[in-house]
Structures are given as structure tokens and as C-alpha cells.
């Protein structure tokens, strides 16, 4: 029988090079997306900022922000964490890791080409898929080479059973190419006409968020909360029901954002029904995650990685609750065409997905490097900046959006007066983005410093090895 610690070390060694590459790439794109977010935030407050350079117009900056955040930071972070978790849960070392590196390089070349294409004006008009058409095939090729290893690891798992985290990871790996191909096919390669584009685009963004980003973060929550807190998931037997209901209901909830659009009413009504049905998995997630969080012993609550994951868990549950509320027609009439929906996107992408993955990486990198944090003050400051920046950003977009919606429904106010009143909330949003940018920069510095310390620590061993060979 293989020793558990020995097997874990073997698995870590089999994936560490590819995982390190994806982590370092993700950090670069995270910092770059933070810069784009700051520029975008400044432009909403002061439109004349960097207005003389065509590539830095608001539309292109927003497109570069979405692309670098989604395909750069989120994509690379997903590959790093999904493969490590799948290998650990399958008790199976990953073979031929060099191919993962090659596929990762191709993926990041595609991200770079996408940003350069957007900068020169080759962007598409669809949010969260603004990257040029000619990069779509490169993304698909790279993803196919990457995802196959996660599927192979699950297929040849050494355990006679599977975990719910594996279901979420496997599902995300399989669903992304399906979502991506359908979106590219009907919007870019052979574009549909008229309102059909809006329907496909709404489905694409919804599926990308809830069938790719959310499953990976949920897999991390189900894996790391019990691991870091030394407790079992409460009512774990319900997690299978939560998985299937969430996947089915979320996949058909995209058209609820199109209330009032000139599309068949039955389509919107069906989507609203599925959105409200998300109440069931929401309740189960609350029992599984919050019930477990409430039973965490005090000595484990000081863990910085766990604090990130707990924050992200709360953010996800509140995000789902807001999604359900926004499907109500009367509330949608108030919030439509306001900053509320942009806040809802940030709520999932940053407050949930990114915060959970920050916590995972703060655990994973020291584990793979066999290094310990010399001082945790940097991690604590990082968490405070991330949490406060996220809360301020979401408050600005949600409260500002509600105020904007109330003013839109007041016929006595002109659009210019509404825009002037919104400027205050754009200033608050800019403050939140500034704190988030500082937090992301500090996060990258913390991890890069750990990599640097690991390299410095290994140098004497390398030198010693050389001297022994000479003697």
C-alpha cells in the first residue's frame, strides 16, 4: 500500500511545472487587468483621461479588461487549480506534463493576440467575448490540449468513488468547449440575425459564468473548507442534489436578463422559472458551506486562505440571491440599463471566483514549493484590501444603480442630471477599484516573493551538488 504522503508528493511533483507556469501567467494577467480596470474606472469619472490614444478609448479598455480578466487570469488560474485538485482527488500523478506547458503557452499567446487585436480595433461587439474572431480557434486548440488531461485523470482515478469537487471540475472542463463553440459559431463565424444574437449572447455569458467559473470555485470550496478547517462538510449527502439542480437551472437562466426585449415571451418566462428555481441549490449550498463554516474551530478561523474562501462562499450565496431577485419583472424594470448588472458580474467574477482562488493559491503555492510564509502580515493586509475594495465596489455599483434606476423612472429628470448624480457613485467605484488593484498587486508580490525565496533556498543545494561532483 502506497504511503499517503509519498503519493501526494509524487502527484505534486508530476504537476508542479505546469501548475507553476499557469499560476505565474495568471498573476501577470491579474495585474494587467487591474490596470485596465483602474483606467476604465477613471474614464467613467473623467472621460478625458488618456483620450488622445485610440487604443485607450473606454470601449477598448473595457474589452481588454474583460478579456484579460476572463481568459487571462480566470483561465490560467482554473487550469492550475483544477489539475492539481483533480490529480489529488483521483490519487493519480499526471503524465506528460510537458504537453500541458505547450498548451499553456499557446493559450497565453492567444490572450496576447486578443489584447493586441482589441487595441487596434479588431474587437467584436459582444461583452465577455470581445476578443478578435481569429483568436477563437487558437483558444479552442489550446483548451482541448489542456482539458483532456483533467478528463484522463478522472477516467483513471485510483479511488473506487468520486467526490463532488471532481464532478464540478469535470463538468467545467467539458462544458467550456461546448459553450465556446456555440457562442463563436452563432455570433462570429456564422452570425445569426436580429434578436437571435441577443438571445445567444445572453445564454453564452450566463453559461460561461455558471458552468465554467462557478463550478471551479465551488469545487475549491467543497475541497478546501473541510481540508483547512479540519471538519466535514455538513449534510454532504445533499451536495449531489445541489450539483444537478444548480447545473440544470443555471444553464437555462440566461434569458431572464432580457426581460422587455423583443423576443418570445415564453423564452423569458421559462428562464425566469429556472432562475427562481435556483432557490433550491441556494438553500443546499447554504447548508453545506455556511453550516460547515459555522462549525469551524476558533484556531482554524485565523487561516488566511480559509478567510478568502469563506468570504467567497458568502459572496456566491448573496450573488445567487440577487440573481433570483433580479428575475422579478418589477425589480428588473427598476434596475435594467443601470450599473446593477455590471455589479452583478463583478460579484461573481471577483467577489466569489477570484477571492476563492486567492485563498487556494495562498495555500497551494507554499505547499508545492515546500515553503512557509515568513510573515503573515502581508497576507492579512492583502485580505483586508481585497475584502474592503470588493465591498466598496459592489456597494457603488448596486446602490448607485438603484439610484440611477429610480431617476430613470422620474420623467422630470433629464439624462444629463442623472449622469451628473451618478458621478459620485463612479467616484466610489474608482476607490473600490483602486483598493482592488493594490490588493492584486500585493497578492502578486507575495507569491512572486515566495517563488524567489524558493529559488534562493535551492541555490546552495545546487552548488553543493556541483562541488560534490567535482570532488
Query: What is the CA angle 103-360-377, rounded to 5?
Result: 125
Average pLDDT over the chain reads 91
Residue 377 near residue 441, CB atoms below 8 Å: no
Grid coordinates representing 216 are 471551479
Grid coordinates representing 196 are 437571435
3-state secondary structure 135-177: HHHHHHHHHHHHHHHHHHHHHCCCCCCCCHHHHHHHHHHHHHH
User: How confident is the model at residue 455, as a pLDDT?
Assistant: 83
Tell me the CB-side half-sphere exposure of residue 192, using CA atoms within 13 A.
Answer: 14
The two counts, helices (H) then strands (E), for the chain are 18, 0
Q: How far apart are CA 353 and CA 315, in angstroms?
A: 9
Q: Determine the average pLDDT of the residues in 82-110.
A: 87
Reported pTM:
0.94
User: How confident is the model at residue 297, as a pLDDT?
Assistant: 82
In percent, the amount of the chain with pLDDT more than 90 equals 75
Q: Determine the average pLDDT of the residues in 204-221.
A: 97
User: How confident is the model at residue 1, as a pLDDT?
Assistant: 43
**59 alpha carbon, distance to own chain's centre:** 22
Angle, helices 164-184/195-208, rounded to nearest 10 degrees:
160
Q: Which of 467, 442, 465, 437 is nearest to 65 (CA)?
A: 437
Residue 102 pLDDT exceeds 60: yes
User: How confident is the model at residue 470, as a pLDDT?
Assistant: 39
Residue 469 pLDDT exceeds 90: no
Q: How far apart are CA 367 and CA 441, in angstroms?
A: 22
What is the end-to-end Cα distance of the chain in Å, rounded?
Answer: 39
Query: What is the CA angle 350-354-358, rounded to 5?
Result: 140
Residue 416 near residue 3, CB atoms below 8 Å: no
Q: Which of 135, 87, 81 is nearest to 108 (CA)?
A: 135
Over residues 187-200, the pLDDT tens digits come to 999 999 999 999 99
Top pLDDT among 113 and 374 is at: 113
Band (pLDDT 50/70/90 cuts) for residue 282 is very high
User: How confident is the model at residue 3, as a pLDDT?
Assistant: 61
Grid coordinates representing 52 are 488622445
In percent, the amount of the chain with pLDDT more than 70 equals 96
Residue 59 pLDDT exceeds 60: yes
Q: How far apart are CA 210 and CA 164, in angstroms?
A: 16
Q: How far apart are CA 358 and CA 369, in angstroms?
A: 17
Over residues 314-373, the pLDDT tens digits come to 999 999 999 999 999 999 999 999 999 999 999 999 999 999 999 999 999 999 998 888
Which of 52-61, 88-97, 132-141 is modeled with the greatest confidence? 132-141
Residue 206 pLDDT exceeds 90: yes
Residue 467 pLDDT exceeds 50: no
Residue 209 pLDDT exceeds 60: yes
Q: What is the CA radius of gyration of the chain?
A: 23
Q: How far apart are CA 350 and CA 395, in angstroms?
A: 14
Top pLDDT among 313 and 13 is at: 313
Residue 94 pLDDT exceeds 80: no
Residues contacting residue 442 through CB under 8 Å, at least 6 positions apart: 378, 381, 382, 385
Residue 462 pLDDT exceeds 60: no
Q: Any long-range contacts for 151-158 (C-beta under 8 Å, 24+ apart)?
A: 153/83, 153/86, 153/87, 153/90, 153/92, 153/94, 154/86, 154/90, 156/90, 156/92, 157/89, 157/90, 157/91, 157/92, 158/90, 158/91, 158/92
Amino acid at each position: 500500500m502506497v504511503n499517503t504522503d509519498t503519493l501526494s508528493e509524487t502527484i505534486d511533483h508530476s504537476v508542479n511545472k505546469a501548475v507553476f507556469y499557469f499560476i505565474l501567467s495568471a498573476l501577470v494577467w491579474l495585474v494587467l487587468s487591474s490596470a485596465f480596470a483602474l483606467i476604465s474606472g477613471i474614464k467613467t469619472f473623467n472621460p478625458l483621461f488618456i483620450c488622445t490614444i485610440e487604443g485607450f478609448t473606454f470601449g477598448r479598455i473595457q474589452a481588454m479588461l474583460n478579456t484579460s480578466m476572463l481568459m487571462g487570469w480566470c483561465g490560467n488560474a482554473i487550469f492550475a487549480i483544477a489539475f492539481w485538485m483533480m490529480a489529488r482527488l483521483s490519487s493519480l500523478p499526471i503524465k506528460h506534463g510537458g504537453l500541458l506547458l505547450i498548451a499553456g503557452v499557446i493559450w497565453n499567446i492567444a490572450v496576447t493576440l486578443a489584447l493586441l487585436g482589441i487595441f487596434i480595433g479588431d474587437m467584436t461587439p459582444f461583452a465577455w467575448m470581445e476578443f478578435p474572431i481569429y483568436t477563437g480557434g487558437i483558444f479552442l486548440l489550446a483548451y482541448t490540449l489542456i482539458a483532456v488531461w483533467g478528463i484522463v485523470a478522472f477516467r483513471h482515478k485510483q479511488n473506487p468513488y468520486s467526490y463532488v469537487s471532481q464532478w464540478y471540475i469535470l463538468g467545467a472542463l467539458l462544458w467550456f468547449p461546448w459553450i465556446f463553440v456555440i457562442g463563436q459559431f452563432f455570433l462570429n463565424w456564422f452570425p445569426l440575425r436580429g434578436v437571435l444574437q441577443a438571445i445567444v449572447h445572453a445564454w453564452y455569458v450566463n453559461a460561461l459564468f455558471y458552468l465554467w467559473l462557478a463550478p471551479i470555485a465551488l469545487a475549491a470550496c467543497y475541497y478546501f473548507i473541510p481540508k483547512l478547517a479540519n471538519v466535514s462538510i455538513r449534510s454532504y449527502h445533499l451536495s449531489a442534489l445541489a450539483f444537478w439542480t444548480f447545473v440544470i437551472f443555471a444553464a437555462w437562466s440566461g434569458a431572464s436578463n432580457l426581460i422587455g426585449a423583443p423576443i418570445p415571451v415564453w423564452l423569458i418566462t421559462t428562464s425566469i422559472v429556472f432562475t427562481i428555481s435556483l432557490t433550491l441549490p441556494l438553500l443546499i449550498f447554504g447548508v453545506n458551506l455556511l453550516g460547515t463554516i459555522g462549525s469551524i474551530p476558533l484556531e482554524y478561523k485565523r487561516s488566511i486562505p480559509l478567510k478568502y474562501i469563506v468570504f467567497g462562499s458568502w459572496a456566491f450565496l448573496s450573488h445567487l440571491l440577487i440573481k433570483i431577485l433580479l428575475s422579478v419583472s418589477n425589480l428588473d424594470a427598476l434596475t435594467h440599463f443601470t450599473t446593477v448588472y455590471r455589479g452583478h458580474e463583478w460579484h461573481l467574477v471577483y467577489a466569489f471566483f477570484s477571492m476563492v482562488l486567492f485563498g487556494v493559491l495562498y495555500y497551494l503555492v507554499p505547499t508545492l514549493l515546500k515553503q512557509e510564509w515568513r510573515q503573515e502580515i502581508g497576507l492579512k493586509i492583502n485580505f483586508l484590501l481585497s475584502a474592503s475594495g470588493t465591498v466598496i465596489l459592489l456597494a457603488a455599483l448596486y446602490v448607485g444603480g438603484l439610484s440611477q434606476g429610480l431617476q430613470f423612472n422620474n420623467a422630470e429628470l433629464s439624462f444629463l442630471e442623472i449622469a451628473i448624480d451618478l458621478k459620485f457613485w463612479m467616484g466610489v467605484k474608482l476607490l473600490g477599484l483602486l483598493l482592488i488593484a493594490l490588493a492584486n498587486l500585493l497578492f502578486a508580490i507575495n507569491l512572486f516573493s515566495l517563488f524567489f525565496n524558493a529559488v534562493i533556498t535551492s541555490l546552495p543545494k545546487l552548488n553543493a551538488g556541483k562541488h560534490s561532483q567535482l570532488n
